[in-house]
Amino acid sequence: MTNPLDRIRVGSAPDSWGVWFPDDPLQVPWERFLDEVSEAGYSWIELGPYGYLPSDPARLTDEVNKRDLKVSAGTVFTALHRGPDVWDSTWEHVSQVAELTRAMGAKHLVVIPSFWRDDKTAELIEPPELTVRQWANLTKGMERLGHEVKERFGLDIVVHPHADTHIDTEEHVERFLDSTDSALVNLCLDTGHYAYCGGDNVKLIETYGERIGYLHLKQVDPEILADVVKNEVPFGPAVARGVMCEPPAGVPELGPVLTAAQNLGVDLFAIVEQDMYPCEPDKPLPIATRTRKFLRSCGA
C-alpha cells in the first residue's frame, strides 16, 4: 500500500497541452484546455502564458468554477540580471500577471529567468555564464521582486530553474539559493528541467528543503537527452524531439521525489508539466489522464 502524500496538491498546466504562447495557431483553444484538464482528473491549474486564458478575473473565475478548477499560480519571465534599467518594464508585466493571480485566489508567482539562447534558432542571445555584477543584479533583483510582489499582491515568488537560462545546473541553482534571502525568494523545482541540466532532484530537496516552495513534475527521456547534450541542441528543438516524456518512462523517478517533498512536512503544489510544443490537439488529454492515474499510484 502506497503511503498517501497528503501534503502534495497535484495539478496541471497549459504547458501539458502544448501551450507556450498567449496566442498561437498550433495551440489548443483555451476552452478545450479547461475542459480537458478537468476531464483528466485535475482540480488545480496554472494560468500559463498571460493572455492565453481570459485575463478578466470575473470571466476567468466563472470559467474555472463551472469546471470545478482552482488556480495555483501565475507565471512570468524576467531578465533581472540585466540590472536596474529593466526594472520598470519587468514590473509592468509582473504586476499585470500578479493582479490576475491574486484575483484568482492563488498564492504563488512562478518566475522564470530569460533564455541565453533562442529556443528555436539556437542563436546565442547572451553568454551562458553571468559576470559577478550580473549575478548581483540577478539576486538583488529577485529579492526586490519578491519583496514588492509580497507587499503589493500578497504573493510568494518561486524562481524556476530552466534549461538554457542562467539558473539551470546544480552549481547555478545552489549559487542562486545561497545568494538570496529565503524570506523573499524560494524555488519552484521543476524536476524535468533540473534533471535535463544534470541535477539530482532528491538531493536538492533534502539539502535545501526550506527553500522548496513549489514543484513542477516533469520527466526527461535519457536517450534523447544524451543526444541533445552531445550536440548542444537548444531547448525548443529538444522538446520537439520529445526530450520531455510521459511518466513513468523517464527520469527522475517521481516516486522518490514526491516522498522527499512529503517529508518536508509542508503543503506543496506539484503541477504536472510535459513540454510538447507543438503537438497534435488530440495528444494531450490521454497523456494527462494516464499521468494523473500514475501519480495516484504514487500516493499523490
What are the pLDDT digits (tens) for 24-67?
999 999 999 999 999 999 999 999 999 999 999 999 999 999 99
pLDDT at 2: 60
CA–CA dist 299, 167 (Å, integer):
30
> If you average pLDDT over residues 212-216, what whole number do you get?
98
pLDDT at 123: 87
Residue 121 has pLDDT above 90, yes or no: no
| Distances from the Cα of 79 to the Cα of 114, 186, 245, angstroms | 5, 17, 28
Q: What is the mean pLDDT of the chain?
A: 96
User: What band does 77 get if pLDDT is binned at 50, 70 and 90?
Assistant: very high
> If you average pLDDT over residues 164-191, what whole number do you get?
98
User: What band does 157 get if pLDDT is binned at 50, 70 and 90?
Assistant: very high
CA–CA dist 38, 236 (Å, integer):
27
pTM: 0.97
The number of C-alpha atoms within 13 Å of 230 and in the hemisphere containing its C-beta is 6
Question: CA 126, 119, 290 angle in degrees (round to 5)?
Answer: 140
> If you average pLDDT over residues 264-291, what whole number do you get?
97
